[in-house]
Chains A and B, each alone.
Chain A
Amino acid sequence: MTWRPVGLTRDVPAGRVMRAWVDGQDAVVWRSTRGVLSAWDNRCPHRGMALSHGFVRGEDLACLYHGWHYGAEGGVCSLIPSHPDLTPPDTIKTRAFQSAESDGVIWVRLEGSPDLAPPAIAPGLDPLRSFEIRAREGDIAHGAAAKPFEPAILSLLFNPIAHDRTLVTVLIDAQATSDQRKLASRWCEDVRREVEA
């Protein structure tokens, strides 16, 4: 399976939860209080509630529905609030995916050899923003190429999140000024408007 860029490191600080799509798989991406990043099946094994609605409690992610806790290390259930005296068996666990971070980008893949790192990004780039376009990757790449951004070097990463929706992650020359970054952010909107039209 391929590593997919699901968002920016900056956008998932400690204690925050995000939903992501990886090769058609609904996933929850979250970071524990100590900073451990995890990517799991976005489904509480108890009643199927989306864990992306849940909240971080220390090194656990707690489901919004009935508060079952799952630990950052391995996704094993550690607490069932309605049975406080019960030590949950290790067999109650979420399905964990691989996650990695490099150059400010969060990558997730469903499976694969653990020693194969995510693709390297050209040096000297800063993450700018990630946003959704209701179009396919090929059409977006085509639209972006037809409308080159002059003020600074940009690099685009694509994650297909549905047959007609793509998450685009944009990186910009680390030397770019604030004004250039804002222009690049508007350029993203221009490309989207054109590609979706």
Chain B
Amino acid sequence: MSAAFTLYDYVLSGNCYKIRLFASLLAMPYQSVAIDFYPGYEHRSERMLSLNPAGTLPVMVTSAGGQVLTETNAMLAWMALHDGGAQTPWFPAVDPALGPQVQQGLAFGAGLTDSIGLARLHAMLDWPVDGEAAKRAGLKHLRALELHLTDRQIDGGLWWAGAHPTIADLACFPYVALSPDAGLEHDGFPAIRRWLYAVRSLPGFATMPGIHPLHELR
């Protein structure tokens, strides 16, 4: 099968992992180009800035049509639609009940980059930011997610919205799963733990450093 897109990728990035994870769940082939984010700062090289002036990772270039996408949520949407068209259960965009809920989760997931994601960069790579402020913002986000997932549990639900996992779950999963890297443990968050376990149980689940597989009996 030919590659559906090219991904400019950094293995330790939670945002890049969103795309790798979804590609694995969909069994969608793609071509990966490894970018030396640290210590090389290659994402800020002339070549990468001419592709994405914002200097962020990941960057996706679709094989058909050569669309350049630089927002992770847009990439997730593109992949869902490329895979299943308007009927894809991963992105019920026009469903009057679920569509807005999924948008809510996508925005929430993007926000995690600036809280837990930043706190993690500070903890792991000594990024020159206020690590404590980022960590406080991350704790607030975890508490908000716990409340939302507790609501879902009261309604008998498991995912961010609806009966099927959506790209909202994938937009939120990586930085929540990686929050212990930033010193934000999952101990006090039972609904989050249940949801993390559910995502890790999905057929085709892919790991990254810091996010382990579920170990089946061998």
By a beta-carbon cutoff of 8 Å, the part of chain A in contact with chain B is 7-8, 11, 16, 18-20, 33, 55, 57-58, 62, 64, 129-132, 167, 178, 181-182, 185-186, 189, 192
Residues on A with C-beta less than 8 A from B212 are: 64
The complex places the Cα of A44 from the Cα of B176 at a distance, in Å, of 26
The complex places the Cα of A98 from the Cα of B197 at a distance, in Å, of 26
The answer on a CB contact under 8 Å between A189 and B143 is yes
Closest-CB distance, B183 to chain A (whole angstroms) = 14
The answer on a CB contact under 8 Å between B188 and A167 is yes
**Known contacts A11-B194, A189-B143; A132 and B187 CB within 8 A of each other:** yes
The complex places the Cα of A181 from the Cα of B155 at a distance, in Å, of 10
The complex places the Cα of A178 from the Cα of B154 at a distance, in Å, of 6
**Known contacts A16-B197, A132-B188, A181-B154; A186 and B147 CB within 8 A of each other:** yes
Closest-CB distance, A72 to chain B (whole angstroms) = 14
Residues on A with C-beta less than 8 A from B36 are: none
> Is B170 in the interface zone, CB < 8 Å from A?
no
The answer on a CB contact under 8 Å between B154 and A185 is yes
Most buried by B among A11, A58, A62: A11
Residues on B with C-beta less than 8 A from A167 are: 188
Residues on A with C-beta less than 8 A from B189 are: 131
The complex places the Cα of A129 from the Cα of B185 at a distance, in Å, of 18
Interface size on B, residues (CB 8 A): 21
The complex places the Cα of A55 from the Cα of B217 at a distance, in Å, of 10
The complex places the Cα of A58 from the Cα of B187 at a distance, in Å, of 23
The complex places the Cα of A55 from the Cα of B193 at a distance, in Å, of 14
> Is B6 in the interface zone, CB < 8 Å from A?
no
Closest-CB distance, B135 to chain A (whole angstroms) = 13
**Known contacts A57-B215, A178-B154, A185-B150; A8 and B188 CB within 8 A of each other:** no
The answer on a CB contact under 8 Å between A129 and B217 is no
Residues on B with C-beta less than 8 A from A181 are: 154
The complex places the Cα of A154 from the Cα of B203 at a distance, in Å, of 39
The complex places the Cα of A132 from the Cα of B192 at a distance, in Å, of 13
The complex places the Cα of A58 from the Cα of B215 at a distance, in Å, of 11
Partner of A189 from the list B147, B155, B188, B191 (CB cut-off 8 Å) is B147
The answer on a CB contact under 8 Å between B215 and A55 is yes
Residues on B with C-beta less than 8 A from A185 are: 147, 150-151, 154
> Is B190 in the interface zone, CB < 8 Å from A?
yes
Partner of B190 from the list A33, A130, A189 (CB cut-off 8 Å) is A130
The complex places the Cα of A57 from the Cα of B151 at a distance, in Å, of 31
The answer on a CB contact under 8 Å between A129 and B191 is yes
Residues on A with C-beta less than 8 A from B124 are: none
Closest-CB distance, A187 to chain B (whole angstroms) = 11
Residues on A with C-beta less than 8 A from B151 are: 182, 185
- Cβ-closest chain B residue relative to A53: B212
8 contacts between A and B (CB under 8 A): A8-B190, A18-B193, A55-B214, A131-B146, A178-B154, A182-B154, A185-B147, A185-B150
The complex places the Cα of A57 from the Cα of B189 at a distance, in Å, of 23
The complex places the Cα of A186 from the Cα of B143 at a distance, in Å, of 11
The answer on a CB contact under 8 Å between A129 and B190 is yes
The answer on a CB contact under 8 Å between B193 and A178 is no
The answer on a CB contact under 8 Å between B150 and A7 is no
The complex places the Cα of A85 from the Cα of B191 at a distance, in Å, of 41
Residues on A with C-beta less than 8 A from B197 are: 16
The complex places the Cα of A114 from the Cα of B215 at a distance, in Å, of 34
